[in-house]
Structure 1
Amino acid sequence: MTDQAVDTGGVQLSGHAATEGHFLGRTRELKELRADIERAGLDTISGRKAPRARVLLIAGRPGSGRTALAEELVRRIADRYPDGVLRARLAEPDGTPVPVERAARELLAALDVPAPAGAGEDDLTVLLREALAPRRALLLLDDATGAEQVDALLPDAPQCLLVAVSSGPLTGIADVRPCTLGGLDTKSALELLTRYTGSVRITVDPRSAEALVEACQGEPAALTLAGGWLAARPQAAVADLARQLHAESDEGAPLSRVFGLVHTALPAPAARVLRLLSLAPAGLADPHTASALAGCSVGAARTVLDDLTALGLLRAVDSPLPQYEIPGCLHPLLRAAARTHDRPAELQLARARMLERTVRLLQSCRAVTETDSPQAREKLQNTPRALRFPTPRAAAEWLVARRPALLASARLAVADGELDTLARRLMSQLVRAMVAHLGTQAAAPDLYGVHRLVLDVAERRRLPREKAAALLNLADVDARTGRTAEALVRYRAALDAGRQAGDPYAIGRAMESVGGAHLELGDYERAADWFGRALAQRLARDERADAARLYGRMATAHTYAGHYGEAQRAWRAAAAGHRKSGDVAAHARALSELARVQEYAGRPEDSLRTCEEAVEWAGRAGDTRLQAAVRLRLADTLDRLGDPAAARLHRGEAERILEEEPAEGGTGPEQPDLAADTCEIRSASAEG
């Protein structure tokens, strides 16, 4: 993509007419803002140390150049903040406030600080403040909708600086330094027009050019559209445009009037694409999005997007893939134009086409990773060429680049309420693609949000099976991140939903997970009871392998509770179940755990015999680490029984096995943790 965005004091100029551009005007505002940074705060004046970062506010209506001014200020002072610049946008394109939780997570990601999946707003903001406490960083919070958002993200670090961009004051935050923007000065406004029209058309008729600036009230966004309109019409006089705008001076704000002229002058297909871009998720569009919305080819959509960018109606995004951003100040105008010129049914159809295209791209994104599956390869070959990714790497780059738009697509589809079938398909494919390319752990924060959306749809549509699945997925993440009490509540709700759906898998999975949560909470009696309920279901369905594993989990709960008799019976049942199912390694592990419990119960002779049997079965399984671990346990038992010579022999054999084990692809020569190799599953979230 050859078109580059250029900062102009009010908007990002894009396109061929702006290739020479740089930031324009705002000299006084920049000087005042920099002086505010140096000026002593109220705490300093009173002799107290500043408890929090200083806040600078750049206020102005959309289109006034507030973001461009903030970015220019940040560019000029960034070298004072060695720990970097952090950016977050606090409003959606339609003006909806972004949850503080999401903004904090994005800032933590920029700091490379891991944030637990599913963590709440308070936990994330505390984590953010802790991460910023030792740093000297600069925060730019764009499109803040209120003081509460900014205050929640404000660092407790006086060496940091926070620059906020908003439409109004941030009442409630102490010692805020506001800078309110009006229009550009006439000289800068004329220079902005010159970037598009060339100097001749301005210098030959300076009065008309100044009249045009006056009609636009010096507003950068309006001047940008006016310049784009003139650039597309080399024969048009500046005076003609100025007269048209003055004639409509009573019909709304300058930006609205200029936009109306520009929109009317566009070819009908391009105007329709522009209006439909108001549906683009997160205000981000690419050729596929525009193609699906308008029902045209990808190539034609790309051409229209580039043309709109040259007119200043879109901004090219710095991305490895062609992406475009709809300026926030134009978003309400595009929505209003779409409501006026397009029927609701047409808009809904366009939205459905966009979601369907996104689903197919996600399917292709995942399928390209399944190189070992003939079915996946065949399905990929049958996919239209425009929807295929040439390599897994290209698919991963697309997924990462489009991640904000993909997540926004899911949120918007669920909020729509009329496209739930498409929304469910979209979320299913999004989860699969993220897991395939990023892995479950890395994608967990995003997946947690998607699972919550799935739960919303399932509750709205009364889909108990999907509700149970969403609750189980959410609870698993809660359990993995230490929120065991919250996980337990969700596991119980999943059990109710599973029973309502008559889903035996969800019922069994939920009962076992409830038991695992109680085990983590130290309530061993309840844990054993729930494992027993899950076991009864497995036995009734003749699921022997799962039943054997549950015997082990129940035995573990009894062991922690000190009920060694019940624990021994359960481990024997687990060993017998694994032997019948042919799982030799699991049988050996169950025997080793039985030996452990026998030793706890004060029966060393029985423990010795069971250990010897476990060594034999571990040898049959070829599990060298298990063999070494059991021999070390056997040596300890022999020491207690007064046979140190035999104990030394077994320890020596264990050390020999561990020394040889790395050559066979194992780990280093350290004593293995036998408990980690048993069939015990301490966390319910480990179940898939």
Structure 2
Amino acid sequence: MTDQAVDTGGVELSGHTSQGIEFLGRTRELKELLADIERAGLDTLAGRKAPRARVLLIAGRPGSGRTALAEELVRQVAHRYPDGVLRARLSDPDGTPVPVARAARDLLAELDLPAPAGAAEDDLAAALREALADRRTVLLLDDAADAEQVDALIPDTPECLVVAVSQGPLTGIPDVRPCTLGGLDTKSAVELLSRHTGSVRITVDPRSAEHLVEECQAQPAALVLAGGWLAARPMAAVADLAKHLRAEDGEEIAGTPLSRVFRLVYVSLPVPAARILRLLALAPAGYVDPHTASALAGCSVSTARAILDDFVVRGLLHPVRSPLPQYDVPGALHPLLRALTEAHDKPAELQLARARMLERTVRLLQSCRAITETDSPHARAKLLGMPRSLRFPSPRAAADWLRIRRPALLAAARLAVADGELDTLARRLLSQLVRALVAHFGTQAAAADLYGIHQLVLDVAERQNLPRERAAALLNLADLDAQTGRTAEALVRYRAALDAGREANDPYATGRAMESVGGAHEELGDFDRATDWYGRALVQRLARDERADAARLYGRIAAAHTYAGRYGEAARNWRAAVAGYRKLGDLAAHARALSELARVQEYAGRPEESLRTCQEAVEWARRAEDVRLQAALHLRIADTLDRLGDSPAAGLHRSAAERMLGEELQESEQEGDPEDPQPEPAANACEIRSTSGED
């Protein structure tokens, strides 16, 4: 996913923009595409309103400038679409298609719209189409692998425009005429070359420049590399490069113009730089930063930064507009880099480079999380023990790094798990990534990313036969399912987590799973099964003398009985919860449990008994200094007194509640943190429908 895209000399940047450069050539293609927007579609000719957005297809090989043309087209028509431009890349640099679910989720995020964690691909695509139904937006889908990817994302409104970039036709999408790209016209190709070499060498020998363009078949990516080769050799003539290309047989690398120029550039590099260039094929999602290059090559960060900047000059990398130094490996070069690694590097060396990169990423994530733990002396000591290059100057800088590097970090996690031979490092990476995301963004904001990470953890746990980790991953996934309303799916995963916990002989996982199974049944309205599973979990907690958990479970059993209308059983279990919290000395939980007991007594038609319990709860809430609970209890007492016909006493309790809430609001405002003055219902520390936040 990206919000940027291309070098405007017709050079494909694999999804990132180099702004401020005049676009070259492609006049005929642009004219055809602009005319195609206005062309009447088949539905219009048939007298029907077009049901979907118009799709324009720009087809060409990587390196032909197809993304550059798409970006220029979007720039020229953007004023017609006031709701802006959305961009998605539908293939990774190695050619792997991006799942539609990931693309749709990222597009929804660009629109600042929620996308439930773990939602199905069809649901996410439908949510995107619904979001675009009342907008006028351009959707640029770069490097589409097939028609199915594009079709799922096409808005169901003719007010939007889809610009798709692909290597070939999108068979199956109706009313799409491809604009197929070849080379640039000679004038534009020569001008593109001169931008890198300077105008003098072109002016003194224009014929050689034209010959060089012919050798490159006017392909933009090849011309940029040729210009970079010449820029690195101020004394070389344009004719020298054209001569080298004619002599290059291209046997070791496929004999396209791009591959032949690339080979000349590669063999001219110093050995350390050439090795770093080859290893960039391992960079996750084609994103490179100095730390990634440093870890892959085993060199210092400053050395890696200098080499990466030199690669930019040579046209081998493109800088990404970012507060941090970042670069992008052009998609057209990725297969050439991969071929070089296969030819020159042993598998063991590549595996070692991957391991170094993952280890560096793990340490950066550790540093990223540790800087948020300002109150922990252990975390501060650990942070100070790290090399200076791995430390962040502030929590804000760490959060910015995490946000900017997020696509690369998630790609690194996916690649580490897919590798299959670095599972120990993969598990550490996944663990640190989860902790960093939660520390900086919170569980809810990072839920979608966490869902994917937990799925990767589950893959590793199943492959390595690690039942304890399998149970943890299943519990985390089930929690996210439950939070997004997929309770039936959550129940299946909770049961699987219970089996894994039993296999691992892990009492925490089994107890947590049993309680969560009960919570899922309760959410589904099956209160008998809910109380049964809560009871099983309670037996285990009591056997292990886990008193706080046992008291909480008494409350959950009581809540399920309350929902089922079994008030006698509910009251009995609330009394057990009250006794448990009293023994623990938890004043706040004691007061809340009494509050819930009073509620059940009121439901059971015993208002006098409920009134006495409420008054007792007020006293415990006062001891716990829980002003809001006290106010809520006073309001409940007032309602009960009204029903009993004692209106003057009810008024006194309401006045007391209003006074308490007013004082709390005043204190909050003085502290600079005003809160809603309206009374909240008494929160129930025991009645939890989904998995306990403590777990």
> 1: distance between equivalents of 2:425 and 2:528?
45
Alignment partner of 1:575 is 2:575: no
Distance 2:324 2:605 in 1: 68
90-99 or 110-119, which deviates more: 110-119
- For residue 648 of structure 1, report the CA deviation from its aligned partner: 2.9
CA contact (8 A) 2:596 2:684 kept: no
Bigger shift: residues 436-445 or 458-467 = 436-445
> 1:107 maps to which residue?
107
- Matching of residues 163-312 of structure 1 within 5 Å: 163-248=163-248, 251=251, 252-312=255-315
Paired AA for residue 626 in structure 1:
L
What residue number does 2:491 align with? 488
What is the Cα deviation at residue 550 of structure 1? 0.7
The residue correspondences of 1:250-399 to structure 2 (distance < 5 A) are 251=251, 252-399=255-402
Cα distance in 2, alignment partners of residues 424 and 545 from structure 1:
32
Residue matched to 2:687: 680
Change (3 A) 1:669 1:68: closer
Matched to 1:195, the amino acid is: R
What's 2:428 paired with?
A: 425
Distance in 2, matches of 1:63 and 1:250, equals: 18
- Tell which deviates more after alignment, 532-541 or 200-209: 200-209
SS at match of 1:440: coil
Listed as ranges, the matches of 1:407-418 within 5 Å are 407-418=410-421
Pick closer, same or farther for the CA change 1:250–1:680 going to 2, 3 Å.
closer
Distance 1:391 1:250 in 2: 50
Note closer, same or farther for the CA distance 1:536–1:266 as it changes in structure 2 (3 Å cut): same
- Checking the alignment, whether the CA contact within 8 Å between 2:222 and 2:257 is kept in structure 1 is yes
Kindly tell me: are residues 213 and 33 of structure 1, through their superposed partners in 2, closer, same or farther at Cα, counting changes over 3 Å?
same
- The answer on 1:517 being equivalent to 2:520 is yes
CA-to-aligned-CA distance 1:114-155 (integer Å, 9 cap, x gap): 111111111111111111111100010000000000000000
Q: Give, in whole Å, the separation in 2 of the partners of 1:467 and 1:152.
A: 33
Q: Give the Cα separation in 1 of the matches to 2:197 and 2:583.
A: 84
Q: 1:70 Cα deviation (Å)?
A: 0.6
Is 2:519–2:530's contact at 8 Å kept on the other side of the alignment?
yes
Instruction: Tell me, yes or no, if the aligned pair for 1:21 and 1:195 is still in contact at 8 Å.
Output: no
User: What's the CA shift for 1:5?
Assistant: 7.9
After TM superposition, the structure 1 stretch with the greater mean CA deviation from structure 2, 418-427 or 368-377, is: 368-377
For residues 20 and 610 of structure 1, the distance between their equivalents in structure 2, rounded to whole angstroms, comes to 73
What is the aligned partner in structure 1 of residue 48 from structure 2?
Answer: 48
TM-superposed CA distance for 1:573, in Å, is: 0.3
* Match in the other structure for 2:614: 611
User: Among 633, 638, 645, which residue is 1:635 paired with?
Assistant: 638
Amino acid at match of 2:129: R
Higher mean Cα deviation, 441-450 or 231-240?
A: 231-240
> How many angstroms apart in 2 are the aligned matches of 1:415 and 1:76?
41
Q: Which residue of 1 aligns with 2:80?
A: 80
Relative to 1, partners in 2 of residues 1:12 and 1:166: Cα closer, same or farther, differing over 3 Å? closer
Supply the distance in 2 between the matched residues of 1:144 and 1:152 (Cα, whole angstroms): 12
Q: Match of 1:269, as an amino acid?
A: P
Alignment of 1:86-101 (within 5 A): 86-101=86-101
* Contact 1:197 1:227 survives alignment (8 Å): yes
Match of 1:9 in 2: 10
- Report the CA distance shift for 1:388/1:572 in structure 2 as closer, same or farther (over 3 A): same
Superposed, 1:395-544 pairs within 5 Å as: 395-544=398-547
The normalised TM-score by structure 2 is 0.95
After TM superposition, give the deviation of residue 655 of structure 1 in Å: 2.7
**Structure 1 counterpart SS, 2:645:** coil
Matched residues in 2 for 1:240 and 1:528: separation?
A: 84
Partner of 1:155: 155
Q: Do the aligned residues in 2 keep the contact of 1:5 with 1:315 (CA within 8 Å)?
A: no
Amino acid at match of 1:9: G
Per-residue deviation, 1:687: 4.4
Aligned twin of 1:671: 679
Contact 1:495–1:511 at 8 Å: present in 2 too? yes
Q: Secondary structure at the match of 1:49?
A: coil
The change in CA–CA distance for 1:19 and 1:282 in structure 2 (over 3 A counts) is closer
RMSD (CA atoms): 1.8
Verify the 8 A CA contact 1:10 1:221 in the aligned structure 2: yes
Moved more, 34-43 or 201-210: 201-210
User: 1:668, CA displacement in angstroms?
Assistant: 3.8
> Is this contact kept in 2: 1:92–1:98, CA < 8 A?
yes
Give the Cα–Cα distance (whole angstroms) in 1 for the partners of residues 329 and 548 of structure 2: 55
More off after superposition, 46-55 vs 366-375:
366-375
Separation in structure 2 between the aligned mates of residue 607 and residue 652 of structure 1, nearest angstrom: 20
Deviating more after overlay: 490-499 vs 250-259: 250-259
Count of aligned pairs between the two proteins: 681
1:554 aligns with 2:582: no
Aligned partners of 1:480 and 1:685 also within 8 Å = no
CA distance in 1 between counterparts of 2:269 and 2:72 reads: 32
Change in CA separation of 1:250 and 1:533 when aligned onto 2, cut-off 3 Å: closer
Listed as ranges, the gaps of 5+ residues in structure 2 are 669-673
Given that 2:618 and 2:634 are in contact with CA atoms closer than 8 Å, whether structure 1 keeps it comes out as: yes
Per-residue Cα deviation, 1:267-307 (whole angstroms, up to 9, x for no partner): 11111000000000010101111111111111110110011
What is the Cα deviation at residue 98 of structure 1?
Answer: 0.2
Is the partner of 2:261 in helix, strand or coil? helix
Contact 2:6/2:68, CA 8 A, preserved across alignment = no
CA distance in 1, matches of 2:129, 2:349: 47
Shift of the alpha carbon at 1:250?
Answer: 6.7
Show the counterpart of 1:134.
134
Deviation for aligned residue 1:461: 0.4
Q: Does structure 2 conserve the Cα–Cα contact (< 8 Å) formed by 1:85 and 1:138?
A: yes
* Cα distance per residue 1:556-602 (max 9 Å; x no partner): 00011111111111011000001010011211211121122122222
> 1:670, 1:377 → 2: CA distance?
41
Q: Distance in 2 between matches of 1:652 and 1:238?
A: 91
Q: Using the aligned pairs only, state the percent identity.
A: 77
Letter in 2 for 1:680: E
Question: What secondary structure is seen at the aligned counterpart in 2 of 1:86?
Answer: strand
Note closer, same or farther for the CA distance 1:395–1:20 as it changes in structure 2 (3 Å cut): closer
Question: Given residue 428 of structure 2, which amino acid in structure 1 is its aligned partner?
Answer: R
1:135 alignment partner, SS class: coil
Q: d(CA) in 2 for partners of 1:260 and 1:645? A: 93
Matched to 2:678, the amino acid is E
Deviations 1:362-418 (A, max 9, x none): 111111111111111111111001111111111111111111100000000000000
SS in 2 for 1:163: strand
Q: Which runs of 5+ in 1 are unaligned?
A: none
Kept after mapping to 2: 8 A contact 1:593/1:678: no
More deviation, 284-293/239-248: 239-248
The farther-off stretch of 246-255 and 608-617 is 246-255
Single out whichever of 488-497 and 605-614 deviates more from structure 2. 605-614
Query: 1:221 is matched by which residue type in structure 2?
Result: A
Q: C-alpha separation between the residues in 2 aligned to 1:230 and 1:415?
A: 40
* 1-structure distance, mates of 2:606, 2:232: 93
Take 1:606 and 1:440, find their aligned partners in 2: how far apart are those partners? 41
Per-residue displacement from partner, 1:455-508 (whole Å, max 9, x unpaired)?
Answer: 100110011111111111111111111111111111111111111111111111
Q: CA-to-partner distance for each residue in 1:226-247, whole Å, 9 max, x for gaps?
A: 1111121222232232223223
Aligned-partner Cα distance in 1 for 2:652–2:478:
47
| CA 1:671–1:373: 2 relative to 1, 3 Å | closer
Deviates more, 1:326-335 or 1:462-471: 462-471
Normalization by structure 1: what TM-score?
0.96
